[in-house]
Amino acid sequence: MGRPAPAPTEPGRNGPRLAARFVEWMMGAPEGHITAVPGIPRNAQLKAAGNGVVRQQGAAALRMLLAMREASRG
């Protein structure tokens, strides 16, 4: 990823809670891709990250599909 992992939790009203920056990092998104968008609350940031595709997995799937296609062409 090229950057260290941010803290997985942050202070919340009822104790520690999941940090959106950590989820963004786990998803492989560039720093601030989800968390630096103005006006988006934490819950919406987490929802956006959770509904996204892990970029590394998507890239691996495309490579595998292309390799299978090439192999079938013989």
| pLDDT value at residue 44 | 95
Rounded to two decimals, the pTM is: 0.74
Q: Where are the domains of the chain?
A: 9-73
pLDDT tens track for 4-13 = 999 999 999 9
DSSP string, the chain: --SPPPPSEEEETTEEEE-HHHHHHHTTPPTTTTTTSTT--HHHHHHHHHTS--HHHHHHHHHHHHHHHHHHH-
| pLDDT value at residue 41 | 95
pLDDT tens track for 11-63 = 999 999 999 999 999 988 899 999 999 999 999 999 988 887 788 888 899 99
| pLDDT value at residue 50 | 84
